[in-house]
Every structure is written in C-alpha cells, then in structure tokens.
Amino acid sequence: MKFLNILTTSAVALMAVSSASAFAAEPMTKHAPHLKAQHHKAQKLSPNDKVELQEYIEYEKREPCQFYQPIPEGFVKDGCHLKPIEKKKPVKKMAIIEVINDYELHFAYDSAQLEPAAKRILDMIARDINTYKPGEVTVAGYTDTAGDEDYNIKLSERRAQAVSDALTQYGIPNRVLQKKAYGEKHNAVKTNDGVALKENRRVVVEFRK
C-alpha cells in the first residue's frame, strides 16, 4: 500500500511538471486568440514580462473578463481583451523666432516701384539694424485682393525683391535677408475679393533674433 501511494504521488507530480512544460512551450496566442495580432510585439518583452503576461493569460482563461489580476506591464484593458500600449512619437516643436522690430512700406496700385516715402523707412531700417543687430531680416510682400491670385503672388514677389535690393544697397548683407511672397493672403485689412486698397499693398520688414 505504501509503495502504491508513492507511485501515485510520483505520477501526479510528473503530470504537473509535464503540464507546466507544455504550457510554457505553447505560444501565448493559443491561450488568448485576441492577442494573435500582437504576438510579434509580445515576443519583444523581457523574460520577466513574458512570464507575467503568460500568467495573466492563464488566469484570464480561467476567469474571463474579471481582471482581478494586475494588468501586465505595457498593456491596457480593451473590453475583455488586452492590447499593447502604443508609444506616441514625440512631436517636434517648431522654433518660434521672436520679432524684435518691424517696418511697413506701401505701394501704388499694380506697382512694385518704391515710392518717395519709402526712403525715410529704409533709412530708419538701415539705422536701426545696428541697434537691434537681428540675426535675420524677413522681407514679406503682399497685395490687395484686386486682380488674379496667381498674378498677385508674382507682384508680391517683385515688391519684396525691390525692398530687398534697396536694403542691400544700404549695406545690409544678403545672408540675413529672407524674402517671402504672400500675394493677397494675410491682408492687413480684410476685404472682399476684387477690392483695391493701399493698406494691403505693402512689404513688411521684420527684425528677428
């Protein structure tokens, strides 16, 4: 009888070891089909995290959708299932260059010629550049809403170029001049299409750090 008890105990122990080994060898997706799509991701877990996830899946199979066990590291609840936490890629923030001073020059209708009044502003820009010592000078051209949009882009380019050329003659190096052309976008005064307004026919010069 004693021999029979020993034999029975040994058999039970052997069955337990065999069952544990078989479970360890089986892919985790067999115990949780809803993780099949995430199987590849689960394989990248550390050995300890794999054991934790495997124990969780075994428990969840016995007690589905109870979530008495702690959620494994790197996963969250999705109804009665688990899903891996997706790491969001960091969003690169665009550096905002501070404007330290600005100037505005206006133009006649359908013209990129500098008016006599522009000389006073250009003199001021040339004088102030030694005071502010900007790292960049932007020269942005604009038009009013009269005329074709594509034509206005080109007209705003010519206006920005005219101011840029004048500043170069004042000794401001080309390396700090950045030209931009907006056409009839970003008007100083909002108007309907087809409105000729001098306030919108302009070039804005900005000193930036």
What pLDDT, in 10s, does the model give residues 52-91? 777 777 766 666 666 556 777 777 777 777 778 777 776 6
For residue 131 the two structure tokens come to: 């005071």
pLDDT of residue 8: 37
Among residues 61, 59, 53, which one has the least CA distance to residue 84?
Answer: 53
pLDDT-based confidence at residue 188 (cuts at 50, 70, 90): very high
Q: Tens digit of pLDDT for each residue in 102-137? A: 999 999 999 999 999 999 999 999 999 889 989 889
> What is the domain class of 99-208 according to CATH?
alpha beta
Find the range with the poorest average confidence among 84-98, 103-117, 135-149, 174-188: 84-98
Residue with more model confidence, 182 or 50 = 182
Domain ranges in the chain are 14-84, 99-208
**Tokens (6 digits) for 115:** 């008016």
The pLDDT of residue 65:
67
CB 209 within 8 A of CB 97: yes
Decide which of 92 and 99 is more confident: 99
Please state the pTM of the whole predicted model.
Answer: 0.55
Residues 55, 65 contacting (CB under 8 angstroms): no
Q: Pick the closest to residue 199 from 125, 113, 127, 108 (CA basis).
A: 108
Identity (one letter) of the amino acid at 132?
A: Y
> Percent of the chain having pLDDT more than 70?
68
Give CA separation, 80 vs 60, 71, 139, in Å. 9, 12, 59
Q: CB-based contacts of 49: which residues, under 8 Å, 6+ apart?
A: 72, 73, 74
**Residue 136 to residue 89: CA distance in whole angstroms:** 31
